[in-house]
Chain A
Amino acid sequence: MNIFRLTGDLSHLAAIIILLLKIWKSRSCAGISGKSQILFALVFTTRYLDLFTSFISLYNTCMKLIYIGCAYATVYLIYAKFRATYDGNHDSFRVEFLVVPVGGLSVLINHDFSPLEILWTFSIYLESVAILPQLFMISKTGEAETITTHYLFCLGLYRALYLFNWIWRFYFEGFFDMIAIVAGVVQTVLYCDFFYLYVTKVLKGKKLSLPA
């Protein structure tokens, strides 16, 4: 565990909690892509199946349970409790275009051809693109609430910090995981455009709105 890994995890946790609180406090999930949230719930579910097979540390187990629990709570709030506020018309990204290729790729390129390992690989690949329905929704509506941009920033920052973690681990531990690294780079690159808008607009007190 190094500082990048820890801050990455905390950034991820912050993102998840920001989103939950935003929906809970405003009693609305307007502007939030339910599809992205379903994909994240699927990511955590398929990645953390090792909760049943191996114990790593109390930290590891607690974080996994919190991530999974929050992911399903978010999906519940969007599709059940505050369903009336869900903006389904703008959440029109076709997720099968992500899930099917990612499923195929995880069967073809993995560390080991076993069910748990393939599901883990699937989760890594899927996570790298799971935000696309959300970004698509923002590009469609042309704007995002400021609190939503804070959520996206923390979520993007988390994988960027993991990249630094992997650089650190390569130099100091000789460790690298090519699948996680390539997917992590893809994931971070997808946020770059957003990072730019966040820094140039949101941090200067302006609302994030895209030119028509």
Chain B
Amino acid sequence: EETTKDKDEL
């Protein structure tokens, strides 16, 4: 399963 990046992480 491809998970996309988390935009919250810095």
Contact = CB atoms under 8 A, between A and B. Distances in A.
Interface in A70-87: none
Nearest to A12: B10
B8 A60 contact: yes
A109 to B, nearest CB: 13
Contact of A9 (B6, B7, B10): B10
Contacts, number: 31
B7 A54 contact: yes
A177 B5 contact: yes
Interface residues of A, number: 22
Interface string A139-176: 00000000000000000000000100100000000011
A198 interface: no
Contact of A60 (B2, B4, B5, B10): B10
A176 B3 contact: yes
Nearest to B4: A111
Contact of B8 (A57, A120, A180): A57
Contact of A67 (B2, B3, B8, B10): B10
A54 B8 CA distance: 10
Interface of B: 2-10
Interface of A: 1, 5, 9, 12, 50, 54, 56-57, 60, 63-64, 67, 111-112, 120, 162, 165, 175-177, 179-180
Given A5-B9, A111-B2, A111-B5, 10 more contacts: A1-B8, A9-B10, A12-B10, A50-B7, A56-B8, A57-B8, A63-B10, A165-B9, A176-B3, A177-B4
